[in-house]
Amino acid sequence: MLPSALEASENLFIRRWGEMGASWGISRTMAEIHALLYLSSEPLCTDDVMERLEVSRGNASMNLRQLVNWGLIQRIHRRGDRKEYFDAERDVWGMFDTITRERRRREVEPIVETIERCQAMIEKEKANLKSPAKEQAEVYLQRFRAMLEFFESMNSMFNLLMRTGPEGLKKITGLLRKTMK
């Protein structure tokens, strides 16, 4: 590949990863930094990230800190160098596991807790309600139960998937393909 093709493919991947990250609810810059570090053959310092992505020091630092908190990158210290360097998780399975766990913790668990609280609020007052509020309360409870059942099923599926590992995923995918024909 020509250097220009490498650069073009790097730019395209970083841009698309940033767009995908933004649609997942994380900052575009955070996703772009992750993509840059994922592709980089060696750890990069904050200055490298700033220069390559044309972002401010504050923006780079804040997003690097978030990526470290997510567990997607780690800090690297070089003897004799005061700068901090950062390196990304390269194992796709490990990266997927980290992102899935973090998204579940940040997004799914809070909504499940909210639904459970809503159910408890209605259950507590349901006996005192008169029609049509009593019927409406039952509709809400049915909908909350359906949503919780869905989240529980998805959670079980993700847990099973993560336990199977990459080889198990290939087998599951093969079985699903056969059943879908």
Q: Which residue has the tokens 């992102």?
A: 99
Shared domain check, 59 and 26: yes
Shared domain check, 76 and 13: yes
Shared domain check, 9 and 84: yes
Q: Is the peptide bond before 166 cis (omega within 30 degrees of 0)?
A: no
Give the domain range for residue 40. 3-88
Alpha-carbon distance values, 97 to 46, 103, 142, 165 (Å): 26, 10, 32, 10
Shared domain check, 96 and 72: no
* Residue percentage of the chain with pLDDT more than 90: 67
Alpha-carbon Rg for the chain, nearest whole angstrom, is: 23
Say what the pLDDT of residue 165 is.
87
Shared domain check, 176 and 98: yes
Positions in the chain whose pLDDT score sits under 50? none
Shared domain check, 58 and 18: yes
Say what the pLDDT of residue 166 is.
87
Dig out the tokens for 31 from the structure. Answer: 């996703």
Say what the pLDDT of residue 33 is.
98
pTM of the complete model = 0.78
